[in-house]
Structure 1
């Protein structure tokens, strides 16, 4: 192939590169490889679905990655210089998307552990001041606005890793950090049991997060700050 040379006074037949559309969807293409198209998730067990989660929750997580309170180098790098307003637009984009959930994965824990996990999720453990997951995340475990995420469609390894992160202080949230308090009261076996139940539970008919309300939660929780 002969290289084209510029000659003075001669028209150049050079195609103008086509600019991509300036939309929030186009700007968030970097998120697709890990979190899937429209944030619907991928086969990677450690990358969570984003679609449909409360905007306040997503925004707080983006800020936590930007400020280093949540540590994952690719996310820390991508978000390091993004301003609050842009993070809010990102969060709202994913919060507004409703795409179908994948079928739940088969349970990876024994049946006895699965039932223990279900008991904690649905009833908690009052003797140890462990509230039921449904008390905060909603009866369908679909989350609660403005800042409590849905637990639907998450994989065993991801749930286990996040609960472990709170237990050992490698993941933190806005004070009062209610999840750190709750996770610290669970044993490792109970973390596995809860993760096993949540990752294999059926997808409910209504997956939308509950609207914000004045309902009092079992613990004061910084994630519900507006």
Structure 2
């Protein structure tokens, strides 16, 4: 499925994603509207309608995420801090202003969330995951996930993402990327520091618990924090 998305999405980058593209005009001049929804058609190939993740268990939902977070990630893909060839190909020639427009479009989409994935984890692993999410592990210096991502784990404005409603494969992939140093955020990279302190067992437990949670009816990000984060984090605002 990932290879299919990569091939198909790449083939429609020019015709569907770029504003005012000749490809779109040549298909049916005057009938294809020049709207942001039309321009981001390539995103929907992998992320699903209105930014809702597909069913293959890897691509994340981007609908409803804080606009600042989406903008920062688009910048990271464009500038090489996150690595995925199709994303780089789509974004490499786009301006900051256009990336901000794309981020705001998907942030404004709020389709319903699917039911959580069935879990194969045992109760002990799920309880360890719940404890790490809500309480952290002081002995290891791991802060609670809720301290940044909000009590409902739906994210915090303007730039901290929600972690519920994401497939476990995606969560494992991104935490693993931070663990081995292939994903980066602006310095100081607080997620990289946290993940370094997590064992493989901790990562498995957190992702198992998170991917098994139903998303609350109101999945909007929490308001901006008025208190300091547990760790210093770079560029949490666009």
TM-score (norm 1): 0.90
User: Could you tell me which residue of structure 2 aligns to residue 178 of structure 1?
Assistant: 190
Deviations 1:70-112 (A, max 9, x none): 0011101111100000000000001111111000111132221
In the alignment, does 2:189 pair up with 1:189? no
Q: 1:165 aligns with which of 177, 184, 192?
A: 177
Equivalences for residues 51-70 of structure 1 within 5 A: 51-70=63-82
Task: Give yes or no for contact 1:57–1:223 (8 Å, CA) kept in 2.
Answer: no
Tell me how far 1:114 sits from its aligned partner.
Answer: 1.0
How many angstroms apart in 1 are the aligned matches of 2:213 and 2:109? 22
Q: 1:85 aligns with which of 76, 97, 103?
A: 97
User: Could you tell me which residue of structure 1 aligns to residue 41 of structure 2?
Assistant: 29
Question: More deviation in 198-207 or 156-165?
Answer: 198-207
How many angstroms apart in 2 are the aligned matches of 1:41 and 1:223? 25
Task: Give yes or no for contact 1:117–1:193 (8 Å, CA) kept in 2.
Answer: yes
Tell me how far 1:125 sits from its aligned partner.
Answer: 0.2
Question: More deviation in 207-216 or 85-94?
Answer: 207-216
The RMSD of aligned alpha carbons is 1.2
Tell me how far 1:40 sits from its aligned partner.
Answer: 1.2
Q: How many residues align?
A: 211
After TM superposition, which residue ranges in structure 1, 4 or more long, deviate above 3 angstroms? 16-19
TM-score (norm 2): 0.86
Distance 1:143 1:185, change over 3 A: same
Unaligned runs of 5+ in 1: 1-15
The DSSP-based 3-state class of the residue aligned with 1:224 is: coil
How many angstroms apart in 2 are the aligned matches of 1:93 and 1:55? 8
Equivalences for residues 135-174 of structure 1 within 5 A: 135-174=147-186
Q: 1:110 aligns with which of 122, 125, 131?
A: 122
Tell me how far 1:211 sits from its aligned partner.
Answer: 1.6
Tell me how far 1:205 sits from its aligned partner.
Answer: 2.7
Q: 2:226 aligns with which of 204, 214, 217?
A: 214
Task: Give yes or no for contact 2:126–2:209 (8 Å, CA) kept in 1.
Answer: yes
Unaligned runs of 5+ in 2: 1-27
Q: Which has the larger radius of gyration?
A: 1
Deviations 1:127-172 (A, max 9, x none): 1110000110000000011111001210111101111111111100
Task: Give yes or no for contact 2:156–2:225 (8 Å, CA) kept in 1.
Answer: no
Tell me how far 1:180 sits from its aligned partner.
Answer: 0.3
User: Could you tell me which residue of structure 1 aligns to residue 53 of structure 2?
Assistant: 41
